[in-house]
Amino acid sequence: MALNTLPISGPSKAMSMSGGGYSRKSPIIFDRNCKKPSSESSIMFHMVEQLSHLDPSGQARMVDVSAKPDTRRFAVAGGEVRMLPATLALIQAGAMKKGDVLTVAQLAGVMGAKRTADLIPLCHPLPLTQVEVQLELDSDLPGVRITAVARTVGKTGVEMEALTAVSVAALTIYDMAKAVEKTMCIQNIRLLEKHGGRSGDVINEREI
């Protein structure tokens, strides 16, 4: 049961799949075992035969995307910070000495997404058109659930930007609350869905 939700619009199935010029190809959907639905006769993990970040000699490289057209893309990532109920109650009450945990973590997630190419060596710098970070206090976890959405019009996807937003938001929550609890657990950071681009749509329905 959620105790409190930051008033930010989060991702939704309607937002994910409707309009906006995104790919209308059927999305690749993975179940809890990272497999396609059992109705499919063959299991395929949506990957190329060779890792694109390795050259023929096995050396790391940044992929040349100059020939690819600019398309509209977005990605959704999620994660959690699990903590003691008493720590969660202090966050909800705004009683942490460092200040408003949720607001600071939200802003940190947005800032982190914008610095993804500085943090991940082979990521391309992307002109992000939007980053949203949603934080929800969940007493059943107990802890904070994080969802981030990143959008761009470009030659490559924004999965890493969405994942970085979640990661930095989670680390900020830890930093803001570590004086009270140092045993908090950052967990289940994962891509939830991505849309647009040559590889099409992917929806991750794996249960954690």
* pLDDT given at position 64: 60
Residue 99, Cβ density class (10 Å: 0-12 exposed, 13-18 middle, ≥19 buried): exposed
* pLDDT given at position 29: 57
* pLDDT given at position 134: 98
Which uninterrupted H or E stretch holds 90?
A: helix 85-93
Instruction: Give the pTM.
Output: 0.74
Token pair listed for 114: 């914008």
pLDDT tens for the 208 residues of the chain, in order: 344 443 333 444 434 333 344 444 556 555 555 555 444 433 344 444 455 665 666 666 666 666 677 889 999 999 999 999 999 999 999 999 999 999 999 999 999 999 999 998 888 889 999 999 999 999 999 999 999 999 999 888 899 999 999 999 999 999 999 999 999 999 999 999 999 887 788 898 776 6
What's the CA angle centered on 113, arms 51 and 187, to 5 degrees? 75
Class of domain 1-7+68-208: alpha beta
* pLDDT given at position 65: 66
Residue 130 CA to residue 137 CA, distance in Å, equals 23
* pLDDT given at position 106: 98
Kindly give, in sequence order, each residue whose CB lies less than 8 Å from that of residue 86, ignoring residues fewer than 6 positions away: 180, 181
Q: How many CB atoms lie within 10 A of CB 31?
A: 13
Catalytic residues: 175
* pLDDT given at position 154: 87
